[in-house]
Amino acid sequence: MSTTSTSSPIDTLALTDAAAAKVGELLEEEGNPELFLRVAVRPGGCSGFSYEMFFDSELADDDIESATGNLKVVVDPASATLLMGSTLDYKDGLQGAGFSINNPNATRTCGCGQSFS
């Protein structure tokens, strides 16, 4: 697995080459150069927290911005603490396609892989 590190001052989240390529493809389809990927952690899910990823165009003053190639990834400070050292990956195969986050801070995850504690 090849990863491309972000340039975040706290090394919050890295993207694999596959994830960066897929995000770039999806952003291109959106056709709005102002958009960036926002990754967040929210309370909820069967294990306590759940991941949220979406395209956004609004920055808060305390958001943490990083770049992976020509992609901008943004994380809010509260989520950054929970995501520190994580890797966002994308898989496309017969067993299904989608994004996943490998989070070394998660002590427990649910079967669907979308929530953790």
Q: CATH number of the domain at 83, please.
A: 2.60.300.12
Containing domain of residue 55, as a range? 3-111
pLDDT per residue as tens digits for the range 71-86:
999 999 999 999 999 9
> Angle at CA 78, nearest 5°, toward 27 and 105?
90
Total count of domains within the chain: 1
At residue 81, the 3 state secondary structure works out as helix
Q: How far apart are the first and last CA of the chain?
A: 25
The residue ranking higher by pLDDT, 46 or 100, is 100
Q: What is the pTM of this model?
A: 0.78
